[in-house]
Amino acid sequence: MKITINQLVNRYRGESEANEYSHFNLKHPQPLLESARELLSIVPPSMGACAPLSAAWAQMLRDKYDIPAIVVAGDFKVLGKRIFKCKTNLPESNQGGKVINKKWDGHCWIEIDGYIGDLSIFRTAYSLNHPSVLKQFVENTFGTGRGAFLAPYSDVPKGMKYEAKYVLTDKQIAGLLGGLSYQLEQRI
């Protein structure tokens, strides 16, 4: 039996947030589009930045628009080929300021009211310097120069599959935001 996104929210964020998430109604996707543009203008392109970008996007939606977006970790497939395989959830720090440096091969995105949002998949595909299923699929399906992927579940292109396995907690999101903030400060 496949676990639902609401069950994952309940498991990792608690019953109260699962209830809020499942009853939220996004009247218009404009806040998602505006926040995506803002983040993409702040964070320089890099390959494989799905977790911090998703954490920043979800937090911005919560803080600025009161939208209970969640960060999801899982597998990502293109044309039946697994591009990212998520074997474990992202690590969670128990000590403030502790740097966690572990290899993680999954993918992260946000979800809210039947929408999937992904700020890194295009950046990752375009940054590949070698032929790949991901790069070819993205270029053939979307073209070049795209920024954010945002679509209702029903409009995710055939051949592109997000498989949710985990939902990130506030501690995980805070750790990712701290790391992203540090990276942005170092570029100045």
| Tens-place pLDDT, residues 70-121 | 999 999 999 999 999 999 888 776 555 555 556 778 999 999 999 999 999 9
Higher pLDDT, 89 or 62: 62
Task: Round to whole Å and give the CA distance between 157 and 180.
Answer: 30
Give per-residue pLDDT as tens, 8-22: 999 999 999 999 999
0.85 surpassed by pTM: yes
So where are the chain's domains? 5-87+100-186
**Amino acid letter, residue 143:** G
